Protein backbone atom coordinates (compact mmCIF):
# COMPACT_ATOMS: atom_id res chain seq x y z
CA UNK A 1 0.00 0.00 0.00
CA UNK A 2 1.42 3.38 -0.92
CA UNK A 3 -0.55 6.59 -0.76
CA UNK A 4 1.46 9.71 -1.45
CA UNK A 5 0.85 12.73 0.76
CA UNK A 6 0.12 16.01 -1.02
CA UNK A 7 3.71 17.20 -0.63
CA UNK A 8 5.04 13.83 -1.82
CA UNK A 9 6.40 13.03 1.61
CA UNK A 10 6.25 9.54 3.10
CA UNK A 11 3.23 9.13 5.35
CA UNK A 12 4.08 7.84 8.82
CA UNK A 13 1.92 6.58 11.66
CA UNK A 14 3.36 6.72 15.19
CA UNK A 15 2.28 4.35 17.97
CA UNK A 16 2.70 5.59 21.55
CA UNK A 17 1.96 4.54 25.12
CA UNK A 18 3.25 7.41 27.23
CA UNK A 19 4.85 10.83 27.32
CA UNK A 20 5.76 10.88 23.65
CA UNK A 21 9.00 12.81 23.80
CA UNK A 22 10.27 10.72 20.88
CA UNK A 23 7.05 11.49 19.03
CA UNK A 24 7.84 15.17 19.67
CA UNK A 25 11.29 14.76 18.15
CA UNK A 26 9.71 13.26 15.02
CA UNK A 27 7.02 15.97 14.88
CA UNK A 28 9.68 18.66 15.21
CA UNK A 29 11.74 17.15 12.39
CA UNK A 30 8.68 16.79 10.18
CA UNK A 31 7.72 20.43 10.77
CA UNK A 32 10.41 21.21 8.20
CA UNK A 33 8.74 20.81 4.78
CA UNK A 34 12.07 19.57 3.42
CA UNK A 35 12.01 16.57 5.78
CA UNK A 36 11.05 13.51 3.71
CA UNK A 37 8.44 12.11 6.12
CA UNK A 38 5.17 13.48 7.46
CA UNK A 39 3.45 12.27 10.64
CA UNK A 40 -0.13 11.71 9.56
CA UNK A 41 -1.52 9.61 12.42
CA UNK A 42 -0.75 9.03 16.10
CA UNK A 43 -2.32 6.09 17.91
CA UNK A 44 -2.12 5.41 21.65
CA UNK A 45 -3.03 2.12 23.26
CA UNK A 46 -3.43 3.94 26.60
CA UNK A 47 -6.12 6.62 27.01
CA UNK A 48 -5.09 10.08 28.19
CA UNK A 49 -1.34 9.85 27.62
CA UNK A 50 0.56 13.09 27.05
CA UNK A 51 1.70 11.96 23.61
CA UNK A 52 -1.87 12.52 22.39
CA UNK A 53 -1.67 16.18 23.44
CA UNK A 54 1.60 16.58 21.60
CA UNK A 55 0.02 15.18 18.42
CA UNK A 56 -3.06 17.37 18.75
CA UNK A 57 -0.88 20.45 19.27
CA UNK A 58 0.87 19.62 16.01
CA UNK A 59 -2.47 19.17 14.23
CA UNK A 60 -2.01 15.44 13.70
CA UNK A 61 -5.13 13.21 13.88
CA UNK A 62 -5.10 10.84 16.85
CA UNK A 63 -6.87 7.68 17.92
CA UNK A 64 -6.96 5.67 21.13
CA UNK A 65 -7.09 1.92 20.58
CA UNK A 66 -6.92 0.15 23.95
CA UNK A 67 -5.36 -3.30 24.10
CA UNK A 68 -6.99 -4.37 27.34
CA UNK A 69 -9.90 -6.78 27.54
CA UNK A 70 -9.58 -8.12 23.99
CA UNK A 71 -7.54 -10.51 21.90
CA UNK A 72 -4.23 -9.44 20.39
CA UNK A 73 -5.69 -10.25 16.95
CA UNK A 74 -8.60 -7.86 17.40
CA UNK A 75 -6.30 -5.15 18.81
CA UNK A 76 -3.91 -5.42 15.88
CA UNK A 77 -6.73 -5.55 13.32
CA UNK A 78 -8.05 -2.25 14.64
CA UNK A 79 -4.55 -0.75 14.57
CA UNK A 80 -4.15 -1.82 10.94
CA UNK A 81 -7.49 -0.34 9.96
CA UNK A 82 -6.50 2.94 11.56
CA UNK A 83 -3.17 2.92 9.69
CA UNK A 84 -4.66 2.15 6.29
CA UNK A 85 -3.10 5.14 4.55
CA UNK A 86 0.39 5.17 6.06
CA UNK A 87 3.54 3.75 4.52
CA UNK A 88 5.83 3.51 7.54
CA UNK A 89 5.12 2.98 11.24
CA UNK A 90 7.26 4.31 14.10
CA UNK A 91 6.97 2.88 17.59
CA UNK A 92 7.76 5.66 20.05
CA UNK A 93 7.58 4.36 23.59
CA UNK A 94 4.91 1.88 22.46
CA UNK A 95 4.90 -0.82 25.11
CA UNK A 96 3.20 -3.67 23.23
CA UNK A 97 4.82 -6.45 21.22
CA UNK A 98 3.43 -6.62 17.67
CA UNK A 99 2.88 -10.00 16.03
CA UNK A 100 3.35 -11.00 12.37
CA UNK A 101 -0.33 -10.38 11.74
CA UNK A 102 0.48 -6.68 12.12
CA UNK A 103 4.08 -6.66 10.89
CA UNK A 104 3.30 -8.50 7.65
CA UNK A 105 1.25 -5.47 6.57
CA UNK A 106 4.41 -3.31 6.84
CA UNK A 107 7.29 -5.56 5.77
CA UNK A 108 10.57 -4.01 7.05
CA UNK A 109 8.65 -0.75 7.44
CA UNK A 110 8.29 -0.53 11.21
CA UNK A 111 10.91 1.32 13.26
CA UNK A 112 11.36 1.23 17.04
CA UNK A 113 13.54 3.16 19.45
CA UNK A 114 14.91 1.27 22.43
CA UNK A 115 16.85 2.65 25.43
CA UNK A 116 19.79 0.24 25.31
CA UNK A 117 22.68 -0.78 23.11
CA UNK A 118 21.01 -3.78 21.50
CA UNK A 119 21.45 -6.72 21.47
CA UNK A 120 22.16 -6.04 25.16
CA UNK A 121 19.21 -5.38 27.44
CA UNK A 122 16.12 -5.93 25.29
CA UNK A 123 12.63 -5.72 26.76
CA UNK A 124 11.68 -3.22 29.43
CA UNK A 125 13.82 -0.98 31.69
CA UNK A 126 16.93 -0.78 29.50
CA UNK A 127 18.69 1.84 31.68
CA UNK A 128 17.90 -0.10 34.86
CA UNK A 129 19.27 -3.29 33.33
CA UNK A 130 22.48 -1.49 32.28
CA UNK A 131 23.01 -0.19 35.83
CA UNK A 132 22.24 -3.54 37.44
CA UNK A 133 24.70 -5.24 35.12
CA UNK A 134 27.42 -2.71 35.82
CA UNK A 135 27.77 -1.70 32.19
CA UNK A 136 30.14 1.25 31.70
CA UNK A 137 28.55 2.26 28.39
CA UNK A 138 24.80 2.47 27.85
CA UNK A 139 22.81 3.91 25.00
CA UNK A 140 19.96 3.81 22.56
CA UNK A 141 19.14 1.92 19.38
CA UNK A 142 16.78 2.55 16.49
CA UNK A 143 15.99 -0.71 14.74
CA UNK A 144 13.57 -2.27 12.31
CA UNK A 145 10.96 -4.35 14.08
CA UNK A 146 10.72 -8.07 13.51
CA UNK A 147 8.66 -10.67 15.36
CA UNK A 148 11.15 -10.88 18.25
CA UNK A 149 11.48 -8.52 21.19
CA UNK A 150 13.97 -5.80 20.13
CA UNK A 151 15.75 -8.23 17.78
CA UNK A 152 15.32 -6.55 14.39
CA UNK A 153 18.08 -5.08 12.19
CA UNK A 154 19.91 -2.16 13.82
CA UNK A 155 19.68 1.15 11.94
CA UNK A 156 21.48 3.57 14.29
CA UNK A 157 22.93 3.58 17.79
CA UNK A 158 24.17 6.11 20.30
CA UNK A 159 26.20 5.53 23.43
CA UNK A 160 26.70 7.37 26.70
CA UNK A 161 29.16 6.69 29.50
CA UNK A 162 27.59 5.39 32.71
CA UNK A 163 28.61 7.57 35.67
CA UNK A 164 29.40 6.22 39.11
CA UNK A 165 26.60 8.28 40.64
CA UNK A 166 23.99 7.55 37.96
CA UNK A 167 20.51 6.60 39.04
CA UNK A 168 18.07 4.96 36.69
CA UNK A 169 16.46 8.39 36.19
CA UNK A 170 19.66 10.28 35.37
CA UNK A 171 20.91 7.60 33.00
CA UNK A 172 17.51 7.26 31.30
CA UNK A 173 17.40 11.04 30.77
CA UNK A 174 20.77 11.08 29.00
CA UNK A 175 19.77 8.10 26.88
CA UNK A 176 16.49 9.80 25.98
CA UNK A 177 18.45 12.79 24.69
CA UNK A 178 20.28 10.44 22.33
CA UNK A 179 17.01 8.85 21.23
CA UNK A 180 15.66 12.26 20.21
CA UNK A 181 18.64 12.76 17.91
CA UNK A 182 18.78 9.24 16.52
CA UNK A 183 15.11 8.71 15.67
CA UNK A 184 14.59 11.60 13.21
CA UNK A 185 17.85 10.64 11.51
CA UNK A 186 16.77 7.01 11.11
CA UNK A 187 13.30 7.95 9.87
CA UNK A 188 14.89 10.21 7.27
CA UNK A 189 16.91 7.26 5.94
CA UNK A 190 13.78 5.10 5.95
CA UNK A 191 11.67 7.68 4.13
CA UNK A 192 14.37 8.25 1.54
CA UNK A 193 14.54 4.52 0.81
CA UNK A 194 18.14 4.31 1.96
CA UNK A 195 17.77 1.24 4.20
CA UNK A 196 18.26 -2.23 2.77
CA UNK A 197 18.23 -5.53 4.64
CA UNK A 198 20.88 -8.23 4.27
CA UNK A 199 20.04 -11.16 6.47
CA UNK A 200 19.75 -9.71 9.95
CA UNK A 201 21.73 -6.59 9.07
CA UNK A 202 20.46 -3.24 7.89
CA UNK A 203 22.65 -1.37 5.42
CA UNK A 204 22.29 2.38 5.04
CA UNK A 205 23.27 4.36 1.95
CA UNK A 206 25.05 7.09 3.91
CA UNK A 207 25.62 10.55 2.53
CA UNK A 208 28.83 12.48 2.94
CA UNK A 209 29.53 13.19 6.62
CA UNK A 210 26.66 10.99 7.85
CA UNK A 211 27.25 8.22 10.37
CA UNK A 212 25.10 5.66 12.08
CA UNK A 213 26.33 6.29 15.59
CA UNK A 214 26.55 8.99 18.21
CA UNK A 215 28.83 9.05 21.21
CA UNK A 216 28.48 11.11 24.37
CA UNK A 217 30.87 10.95 27.24
Q: How far is the CB of 37 from ligand GAR (least distance, A)?
A: 17
User: Three-class SS of residue 7?
Assistant: coil
Neighbours of 81 (CB within 10 A): 10
Any contact of residue 184 with ligand GAR (CB under 6 A)?
no
> Which residues are CB-neighbours of 199 under 8 A, at least 6 positions away?
none
Q: Which range binds ligand GAR by CB under 6 A, 20-28, 73-81, 156-164, 202-210? A: 20-28
Nearer residue to ligand GAR within complex by CB, 96 or 194: 96
> Which residues are CB-neighbours of 125 under 8 A, at least 6 positions away?
168
With CB under 6 A as the contact rule, the residue among 9, 54, 109, 114 that binds ligand GAR is 114
Alpha helix positions (H), 41-167: 50-57, 72-82, 100-103, 126-133
Any contact of residue 62 with ligand GAR (CB under 6 A)?
no
Q: How far is the CB of 21 from ligand GAR (least distance, A)?
A: 3
DSSP string, 160-174: EEPPTT--HHHHHHH
* Length of the chain measured in residues: 217
Any contact of residue 19 with ligand GAR (CB under 6 A)?
yes
Any contact of residue 55 with ligand GAR (CB under 6 A)?
no
Neighbours of 155 (CB within 10 A): 25
Q: How many residues bind ligand GAR (CB under 6 A)?
A: 14
Any contact of residue 152 with ligand GAR (CB under 6 A)?
no
d(CA 168, CA 180): 18
Q: How far is the CB of 8 from ligand GAR (least distance, A)?
A: 28
Helix 50-57 × helix 21-30 angle, to 10°: 10
Instruction: Look up 125 and say whether it is catalytic.
Output: no
Any contact of residue 170 with ligand GAR (CB under 6 A)?
no
With CB under 6 A as the contact rule, the residue among 22, 40, 45, 157 that binds ligand GAR is 22
Enumerate the active-site residues. Answer: 114
Residues at the interface with ligand GAR (CB under 6 A): 18-22, 92-93, 113-115, 124, 126, 176, 179
Amino acid sequence: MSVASPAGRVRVGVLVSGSGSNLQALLDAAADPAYPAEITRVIANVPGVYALERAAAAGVPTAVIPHQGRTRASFEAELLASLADVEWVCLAGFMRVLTPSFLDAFPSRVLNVHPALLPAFPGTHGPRQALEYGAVQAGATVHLVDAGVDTGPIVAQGSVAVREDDTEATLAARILGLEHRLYPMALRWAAEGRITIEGRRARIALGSGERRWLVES
